[in-house]
């Protein structure tokens, strides 16, 4: 979608971090923006601050992306406020570790419910609407560099992001003939509060386990040294206009080498399969 001014975007995880930056970047180019988030106080403050900056085309709605009914209600509020929705940014996410000791089913369920099922709920809710209005559209799914490498080890975060990458690739193939684009955002370290996402953990998942808490503390330091989320958001705007499937925010040798090791290992396994008499 090259012409975005006057159209409407829905952004989850919009109270802070990349989500808030996306809201700002999209509003700056003239889009109507609905910011959705589970953190109501931060959400209200975000919209108030944007309004003070002259971005009066931004509104907010409470939304728990792990709950499909909540996403549907947020969608209805958006239609009521702005009419047709054209861009959907399934951005809300949480991050904790797991490891191989004392594996927490509750933590895995929480991360997958938000990071994976939250994306699915956004697609399931808005895709029929975008197809019906026939004006074209674009879906942005936030994954991570962790969706391409396994540096975090046995991790619900990496597992969820691998799934979001695959989901986006398949979705892009099927939506291309319908004039609906798909972008999967795969950032490295960005200055956000994602490693403090336990602050919004719903009570039904119980408290964070010790390993997750330790990993959060370590990775928070790396995140603090990351890049500005607004730069990431403006890169997303370009990707929407150019209909780019992948966005990588980091391309240094340390990031590239991890991908090369993984891809080369996969290709060697394919070569072994091709040379195996048992598989011929």
Whether 157 is catalytic is yes
**Which residue, among 23, 30, 89, has the nearest Cα to 247 in the 3D structure?**
89
Q: How far are the Cα atoms of 29, 119, 162, 252 from residue 98, in angstroms, in the given order?
A: 40, 21, 16, 27
Choose the catalytic residue: 157, 205, 211, 246.
157
The tokens 């969820």 sit on which residue?
A: 160
* DSSP character at residue 227: B
Task: Report the candidate in 7, 6, 19 with the shortest Cα–Cα distance to residue 130.
Answer: 7
Assigned token pair, 258:
């991890």
User: DSSP strand E in the chain: where?
Assistant: 8-12, 32-37, 58-62, 87-90, 137-142, 180-186, 246-248
Contact 118, 242 (CB under 8 A): no
Residues 6+ apart with CB under 8 A from 37: 12, 13, 14, 15, 16, 19, 43, 60, 62, 63, 92
Q: Whole-angstrom Cα distance, residue 54 to residue 45?
A: 15
87 sits in the region (left: phi over 0; alpha: psi -120 to 50; else beta) called beta
Phi-psi sector, 227: left (phi>0), alpha (psi -120 to 50), beta: beta
Question: 63: closest CA among 55, 52, 74?
Answer: 74
Q: Which residues does the annotation mark as catalytic?
A: 157
């Amino acid at each position: 979608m090259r012409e975005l001014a006057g159209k409407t975007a829905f952004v989850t995880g919009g109270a802070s971090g990349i989500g808030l930056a996306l809201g700002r970047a999209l509003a700056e180019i003239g889009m109507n923006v609905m910011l959705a988030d589970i953190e109501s106080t931060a959400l209200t403050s975000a919209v108030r601050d944007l309004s003070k900056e002259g971005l009066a085309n931004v509104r907010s709605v409470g939304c728990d992306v792990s709950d499909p009914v909540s996403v549907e209600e947020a969608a209805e509020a958006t239609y009521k406020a702005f009419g047709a929705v054209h861009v959907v940014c399934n951005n809300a996410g949480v991050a904790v570790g797991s490891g191989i000791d004392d594996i927490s089913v509750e933590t895995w369920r929480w991360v997958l419910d938000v990071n994976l099922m939250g994306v699915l709920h956004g697609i399931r809710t808005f895709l029929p609407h975008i197809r019906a209005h026939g004006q074209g559209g674009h879906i942005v799914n936030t994954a991570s560099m962790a969706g391409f490498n396994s540096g975090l080890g046995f991790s619900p975060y990496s597992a969820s992001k691998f799934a979001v990458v695959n989901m986006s690739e398949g979705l892009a193939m099927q939506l291309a003939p319908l004039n609906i684009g798909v972008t999967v955002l795969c950032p490295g370290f960005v200055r956000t509060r994602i490693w403090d996402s336990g602050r919004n953990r719903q009570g039904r998942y119980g408290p964070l386990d010790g390993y997750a808490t330790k990993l959060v503390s370590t990775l928070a330091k790396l995140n603090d040294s990351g890049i500005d989320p607004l730069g990431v958001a403006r890169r997303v705007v370009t990707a929407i206009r150019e209909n780019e499937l992948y966005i990588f925010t980091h391309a240094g040798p340390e990031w590239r080498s991890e991908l090369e090791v993984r891809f080369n290992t996969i290709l060697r396994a394919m070569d072994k399969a091709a040379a195996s008499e048992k598989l011929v």
